[in-house]
Amino acid sequence: MTAGDLAAAFPSISRPAVSRHLRVLRAAGLVVAVQDGREWRYSLDPAPLAQVTQRWFAQFAPLWEETLANLKRQVKE
């Protein structure tokens, strides 16, 4: 989508604010921008988000394993 398309989808946010957000998202590597004539088209790059969520969920794996082991032990009793 173009910045104008995005701004139109969120009428409560000004166009300059949308542009600032896109600039931050590009710097963070979460959005890819491709020039198409005079316009820039923006698209989400899901790979960095997938890496973050995988690391975040990995923190809880030991907790879930312990919790499920406790549940299994309680059910057997």
Q: Report pLDDT for 31.
A: 96
Same domain assignment for residues 11 and 34: yes
pTM of the model: 0.65
Cβ(2)–Cβ(21) below 8 Å: no
pLDDT attached to residue 61: 87
Q: What is the pLDDT of residue 63?
A: 87
Q: Identify the CATH number of the domain in which residue 36 sits.
A: 1.10.10.10
Contact 1, 19 (CB under 8 A): no
- What pLDDT shows up at residue 30? 94
Domain count for the chain, please give it: 2
Q: Residue 66: which domain range?
A: 46-77
Per-residue pLDDT of the chain (77 residues; tens, 9 = 90+): 999 999 999 999 999 999 999 999 999 999 999 999 999 999 999 999 898 899 999 988 888 888 998 999 999 98
Find where tokens 């698209």 sit.
43
